[in-house]
Amino acid sequence: MKCYSLLSICCLTLLFLTACQGGGKSASRYVDGNPLDLRYAQRLSIVEHDSFTLATLRDPWDTTRILHRYLLLPAGWPVPSHLPEGTLLRTPLNRSLVYTSVHCSLLRDLKADHAIAGVCDLSYIDLPSIHQGVSQGRIMDCGSGMNPDIERIIALHPDAILLSPFENSGGYGRLEQLGIPLIECADYMETSPLGRAEWMRFYGRLFGCARRADSLFAAVEARYLALKARADSTTQRPLVMMELKSSSAWYVPGGQSTTGILCRDAGARYVFANDTHSGSIPLSFETVFSRACDADYWLFKYNRPQAMTYDALEADFAGYAAFRPFRQRQIYACHTGQVPFYEETPFSPDLLLSDMLHIFHPEIVASDTLHYFCRLK
């Protein structure tokens, strides 16, 4: 009798739990699916189901939390019942507002730039096709990304807004009240070059070019790994320092940043490799000098009307001349106003790795062509 009562209680409990889940079959219907094999991205997961794709973005600043879930449903398809919680997006997107030059450049490479209907921070977008589109009226300039023109965005009627999330930003203000899906492009918070590049597979699914995105990433990955293998074959590991002093602080890439990892994959020792930060860190000149004064190479980026020279560098700050790469003339600079460094390298890290390998190990890379850096004159 006691056994019978216990069995009844268990059965009733099971039925209760099933009812609370909405009928069991419909609730667990989308538990399975085909997870995309993402081998490098740590902040993104994609599961493809029969009628929709679920993309989950993990919060970069608190990995125990979900930043956003997106449900990608082909245009014209009926909305399935009992969908998981998330922002519904009808794909392919064909009229989007894109905040950053990085993602404008990627959409160009994916042959989906026709879907760019508006941009923010136009002055920072170094893409002739975007400026031409604005001048011809095909693309709307929606002002500053920090304070966008809401009236223009309303008039634009975009199907989505692609923007970058920031820690403790307090949200997106009036944008969140417009009812327009916000695509939070957290790819920049990935801690490996291939991890960030792999996000192109997510964007490809947003804009209806998944096969092209998968193929492009596979090519980037293959070239990157081939270059890394060549760097691994050498026993010499030159010491490398990065960037320039800005006012009272010298912002250097953290040891766990994509730049730090690129140095390692290029067969070099980054002076702050032991640092645990994935972003830039402000240091004093004295701190940088104590660690980098005997570096073998120095790489930095700049943007000014005239090309940087050793004389100009010393005129900016006399302390630069005390570093060994300055004395040995082993400085390489990237003029970001003349080459699309920021536009291309996030999703084409193989090109940047090729530059680094050429600089650090010219005996391995025979090509005389550098994509972004050039030796300082």
| pTM for the model | 0.88
Where does a domain end: 184, 218, 252? 218
Q: What is the DSSP letter of 171?
A: -
If asked whether residues 328 and 261 sit together in one domain, one would say yes
Same domain, 185 and 241: no
User: Is 151 within a domain?
Assistant: yes
Same domain, 205 and 244: no
87 and 212 in a common domain: yes
Locate 165 and state its tokens: 């999330």
Do residue 278 and residue 333 come from a single domain? yes
Note the pLDDT of residue 207: 98
Based on the structure, what is the number of domains in the chain? 2
Q: Which residues contact 138 (CB under 8 A, 6 or more apart)?
A: none
Claim to verify: residue 75 and residue 188 sit in the same structural domain: yes
| Cβ 291 vs Cβ 271: under 8 Å | yes
What distance in Å separates the CA atoms of residue 78 and residue 29, rounded to the nearest whole number?
Answer: 16
Query: In 138-178, where does DSSP find H-type helix?
Result: 150-156
Residues spanned by the domain of 371: 235-375
Domain-terminating residue out of 191, 218, 245: 218
- With contact defined as beta carbons under 8 Å apart, do 232 and 118 qualify? no
Give me the CATH number covering residue 255: 3.40.50.1980
Place of tokens 């695509």: 183
Which of 104, 130, 117, 93 shows the shortest CA–CA distance to 209?
Answer: 93
* Cα torsion 306, 370, 262, 264: sign: negative
> Tens of pLDDT along the chain (377 residues)?
444 444 444 444 443 343 333 333 333 445 578 999 999 999 999 999 999 999 999 999 998 999 999 999 999 999 998 899 999 999 999 999 999 999 999 999 999 999 999 999 999 998 999 999 999 999 999 999 999 999 999 999 999 999 999 887 778 989 999 999 999 999 999 989 999 999 999 999 999 999 999 999 999 999 999 999 999 999 999 999 999 999 889 999 999 999 999 999 999 999 999 999 988 999 999 999 999 999 999 999 999 999 999 999 999 999 999 999 999 999 999 999 999 999 999 999 999 999 999 999 988 876 668 999 999 98
In terms of Cα–Cα distance, which of 254, 181, 189, 206 is closest to 58?
Answer: 189
188 with 68, same domain: the answer is: yes
Helix (H, G, I), strand (E, B) or coil at 94: coil
- Residue of 13, 76, 12, 83 whose CA lies nearest to 47: 83
How far is the C-alpha of 117 from the C-alpha of 107, rounded, in Å?
A: 12
- Compute the distance between CA of residue 107 and CA of residue 116 in angstroms, rounded to an integer: 8
- Is the sign of the CA dihedral 308, 309, 310, 314 positive or negative? negative
